[in-house]
Chains A and B, each alone.
Chain A
Amino acid sequence: MEKRYETVFILTPVLSEDQAKEAAKKFEKILTDLGAKVNHRENWGLKKLAYPIQKKTTGFYHLIDYTGKGTEIAELELQFKRDERILRFLTIALEKHGAAWADKRRAKGSEAKVAKTKKAEA
């Protein structure tokens, strides 16, 4: 039985924007190599943390939404723990309402993007 999961992770602000993107890509590759299907990815950019973690007050937030058997999560989290660029991570399983909400949110997000580009064109 395949399930849908969502992982949010925070990268240290010491990295540059490009390095952060590269690190995010690395973790995405781990997932795809293990046979998970990435549905969606989000980059929230540099955000302020609600409380300091490892003496850092900001971090790069990334989100990956994927479908898999659940066996790849252990490997992904192991890699998270080994990587010192990761401040924090959270993986949750999306139940049917959660999945519906994620799709809706994504649709809304892309609409907003389209609206923005349209505005820019006009």
Chain B
Amino acid sequence: MAKNEVRFLNPPTVEAKKKKYCRFKKLGIKYIDYKDADFLLKFVNEQGKLLPRRLTGTSLKFQRKVSQAVKRARHIALMPYLADGLK
């Protein structure tokens, strides 16, 4: 047996990484409405905190707008500042 032959018990699963994309760029959404709390819910975790771009794939330009919209929604009590089990 060759010395440096590596053997696995289970064949290693090589998944093709799914490419993330910015949904605003893809769908051509130009304005993020702070009044639409249901939509903004996609960008916060269950505690009501903003999700990082790394997870949602949003581009920087739109992440800034998302964050602005979420903060406005919180101010007029359409979204909570702090929550427990939002989803």
A residues with a Cβ closer than 8 A to B are 8, 10, 49-51, 53, 59, 61, 63, 88-90, 92, 95, 97-98, 100-101, 105
For B78, list chain A residues within 8 Å (CB): 50
Distance (whole angstroms) from the CB of B50 to the closest CB of chain A? 15
**Chain B residues with Cβ under 8 A from A95's Cβ?**
31
Can you list 6 pairs linking A and B with CB atoms under 8 Å apart? Answer: A50-B37, A50-B74, A50-B79, A59-B77, A88-B77, A90-B76
Q: Does B23 contact A (CB under 8 A)?
A: no
The answer to whether the Cβ of B30 comes within 8 Å of any Cβ in the partner chain is: yes
Hey, what's the 0/1 contact readout for B59-87 against A, CB within 8 Å counting as 1?
Answer: 00000000000001011111111110000
- Whether the Cβ atoms of A90 and B72 lie closer than 8 Å is yes
Q: State A10–B80 Cα separation when bound (angstroms).
A: 15
Docked pose: A61 CA to B31 CA in angstroms: 22
Determine chain A's interface SS by DSSP, over half rule: strand
User: What residue in chain B is nearest A94 (Cβ atoms)?
Assistant: B31
Q: How far is the CA of A98 from the CA of B32 in the complex (A)?
A: 8
B83 surroundings in chain A (CB, below 8 A):
50
Question: Which chain B positions have C-beta within 8 A of A61?
Answer: 76
Q: A51 to chain B: which residues have CB within 8 Å?
A: 77, 80-82
- Give the interface centre of B31, B76, B77, B81 by most chain A CB atoms within 10 Å: B77
Q: Is the CB of A97 within 8 A of B75?
A: no
